[in-house]
Each structure stands twice: as structure tokens, then as C-alpha cells.
Chain A
Amino acid sequence: VSGQTGTELRATDAALIQKIVQQDESALAALYDRYASLLSSLLNRILRDTQASEEILQDVFFLLWRNAAQFDPARGSLPGWLTVIARNRAISRLRRHDPSSGEELLETTVIVPANLENAMTQQQLLGRVKGALENLSAEQRAAIELAYFEGLTHTEIANKTGDPLGTVKTRIRTAVESLKRNLLS
């Protein structure tokens, strides 16, 4: 505690993006401090390789530095967008696809149903996401994790688990319905 009253508030993502457009390096550092942990956790979960995860983490923030002017915070959530880019790049690396630059996703809009700028909200959401995942059956949860963290399609999940394709499709659809219901409730 600084000993002062809390008059100093952190800048919003939108304000920091504006500063990055004006080449303010400290604004990028502030956004890195805000979201690096979230992205690092995601990348390590997907890749299970610290070095590769850190390379992508750096690339994603450098992409933000170079293209901040194209990101319109009014159209979507910055952490949501960063998460989509990081996941896309990690899955490409994992599956040995040509590594995407991520620039094709610059126009992607991601609307997160909460404000992830805020550490306390992140913490509350984490509880809700965990609760939503725990509400799924073990098979549904495994299928969702294979899709999200390994980037597998319906057919690939069916091949990996040995379950019929129709079963896998139904399982994932009902899991997604349940997640949607629980995350929005």
C-alpha cells in the first residue's frame, strides 16, 4: 500500500492502445504486464514448451505494437483478441502448419462478456469458467479441451477417441450449449 488514497487509477486498454499508436513504449509494457500471464498460461497449456510459448508471447505483443492503429477497442475486447491470436499461432505451431503471422486476424472482433482488464473480474470469471467446465461430463470436457487446447476438429477428435463422428458432434454441441448457458448465467 502506497500510503496514499487511491487516486491513481490504471489506464484503460483503450487509452493504452491510443498511446501505442503514438509509439509510447511504456503503454505496451503496461498492456504486457496486464495480459502476459493470461496468454503465457494459455500458450504453455497448448504447447507444453516454455521456449516456444515465450517466443509466441513476444510475437503477439510485437504484433500489437506494429498494428495497434488497426485495433478498435470500441469494436471488441483487447484481451479477447490477444487470446484468439495467441491460440491461433500456438495451434499452428503445434500442428506444424505454416506459422500464421496473425495479421489476417487483425480485423477479427471478439466480444468478451466481461471486462478482463480487471484482475478481480478475471478471478471471478475463472471461478465461473471452472464451474461451467465441471458441469460437463468427463467425455464432454475432454472433447472441449481437445478442440480448444489441441485445435482438433470433429473428425480428428473422433479418430483420437475412437468414438463415432456423430457421437462426437452431439457431445461437443451439447457441451457448447451448456458452457454458453453457464457462462452467461
Chain B
Amino acid sequence: MNGHPNRPEDFDLYALGVLEGEEKAAIESHVPTCAECAAKLAEARGRIALLALSAPRVEPSPAVRERLMRQVHASAESTGARRVQGAAEPERSAGFFGRWWAAVLVPACILLLFVAARLRNENERLRRELGQEQVTLQKQQKQLDEARHAQALLESKDTVSVALAQQPGMPKGDVRVMYNAKMGMAMCDGWVEPAPANKSYQLWLVPMEGKPISAGMIEGGSINPWMVKLPQGMPAKAFAVTLEPAGGMPQPTGPMVLVGPIT
């Protein structure tokens, strides 16, 4: 067979890895020649990849991250060294050091310079790594705090989920806010079409009484979940996203793009 697979599930079966022999060979010979089937296979791979989510959660040890970053750092340094070496090549091959003793002294000098440079680099690297470790530690502590707050928010029975609906004629988007008035916290998630040039999306909490309160800016595209602290005990009637001048405004001035009432 060198035509399209007979059944649409064949792509999923291939991605799952159960096909063998002729069935497998047929897909492998056809897909590179057919953009339509290549796209179907990419989608099948994505569906099958979702099975990974069903694996019981196992966090890697922090040592893996440390080893990886050391490996990456060393690789970046050696790439830099190779570049320097390559740049020096034409001068050497031009025969400038033509004498016989140059063959001994020059490599020795280069070696000494190389060792000195390595020691200096090593020193700098250690100092930089120490600084990075401290930054990483602070960042991890912050992430841990945020994760704890997010967990408390998601588990609390006082948390409400607010789906913000697109307003007619406005950019498309699907934003959800988890809001807990008692805790004074909200978590935002979803996506929205990129904002026009020099404009930003701004999220607002609309209280039962008083003016809207800014809950932060939203970049266009996919929104990674983020926590926002709001005044505690504030009864709210809705969340809304407006289109504002880049950087946001103290109060909403632009059109409402998305709105979600708190029921």
C-alpha cells in the first residue's frame, strides 16, 4: 500500500507503537509523501502523548536539575572555546611560526595561556554559579509559596470559578478566574487573541460597590496561570477584561473584551 491509510485510527495505532510489519511499513512509506497524512499523524502523536498524564506523579530529585545546568554550562563554555580556536586558525596556517622550535614553544605557551584562562573562567564560573544558586533558591521559595496559595485557593469551598465570555465584535478569548473573596486571592488562566499594537488587556475585579480594581495585565496568547492578591473580603459581582493603552490604566477606559459575572 502506498495510498492513504484505510482507517483514521491507523495513525493513532502507529503513534502508539503497536503496528508492525507491513502495516507499519505502509504508514512509514506513505506519510513522508503526503502532507495531509503527516498532519494527521502529528495530531495522533499529540493524542497518544496525553496518555503520559495518566502516569503517577513522580517529582525528579533537585540533583537532576543541578547536573543538567552544569552540563549545559560546560557545553556553552566549550562551544565558546571552539569558536575562539576556529577564529585563530587562518593565522597559524599562514606559516608565521615557521621555525622548528616554534613547534614546541608555541603549543607550550598556548597551553599555559589556556590553563590560566581556564582557571580564571573556573573561578568566575563558581562565583556565577553561587549567585545563580541563590537566585534559584529564592525563586523556588517564591514558587513554593505561590503553589501553596494556589492549592489553598483551589481546595477552598469558598472559591468560585468565573468564566469570562467574549463580547460581540471583540477579540476572541477564553479566560477563567478562580476567585476567593475571603482569602483576597484570584488565579487567572486561559487565552486571548494578541492585543493590537500599543494596547494591553487588563483584568478587573468589579466589586458590588465602588470602582473596579485592577487585577493585572494579560498578554495576548496563552495565559500561564498566575495568582493575584486582591483586597480581602471584597464582595464582587464580576470580572472583566478591557482593552487599554499599553501598560494599563488605573481605571478602565477601553472597551470590554470579556466579561464574567460571579453567580
Contact = CB atoms under 8 A, between A and B. Distances in A.
Interface stretch (B91-99, B164-172, B222-230): B222-230
B88 interface: no
Contacts of B16: 144, 147-148, 172, 176
A151 to B, nearest CB: 6
B18 A172 contact: yes
B110 interface: no
Given A37-B57, A176-B12, A7 B64 contact: no
Interface string A1-41: 11111111110100000000001010011001100111111
A154 B14 CA distance: 11
Contacts of B57: 37, 41
Interface in A77-109: 77, 79-80, 83-84, 87, 91, 108-109
A173 B76 CA distance: 46
B18 A80 contact: no
A120 B189 contact: yes
Interface size class of A (residues with CB under 8 A): 35 or more
Interface string B157-199: 0000000000000000000100000000101110100000000
B20 interface: yes
Contacts of A147: 16-18
B54 interface: yes
B38 interface: yes
Contacts of A84: 45, 49
Contact of A42 (B45, B52, B221): B52
B251 to A, nearest CB: 14
Contacts of A137: none
B142 A2 contact: yes
Contacts of A36: 60, 64-65
Interface of B: 7, 9, 12-13, 16-20, 38-39, 42-43, 45-61, 63-65, 67-69, 71-73, 75-76, 79, 136, 142-143, 145-146, 149, 176, 185, 187-189, 191, 203, 214-219, 221-229, 248
Interface of A: 1-10, 12, 23, 25, 28-29, 32-33, 36-42, 44-45, 50, 53-54, 57-58, 61-62, 65-66, 76-77, 79-80, 83-84, 87, 91, 108-115, 117-122, 125-126, 129-130, 133, 144, 147-149, 151-155, 157, 172-173, 176-177, 179-180, 183-184
22 contacts: A1-B227, A1-B229, A6-B188, A6-B226, A9-B219, A29-B69, A36-B64, A41-B55, A42-B52, A54-B61, A65-B75, A109-B38, A109-B45, A110-B42, A112-B47, A113-B50, A126-B53, A151-B17, A152-B18, A173-B7, A173-B9, A179-B47
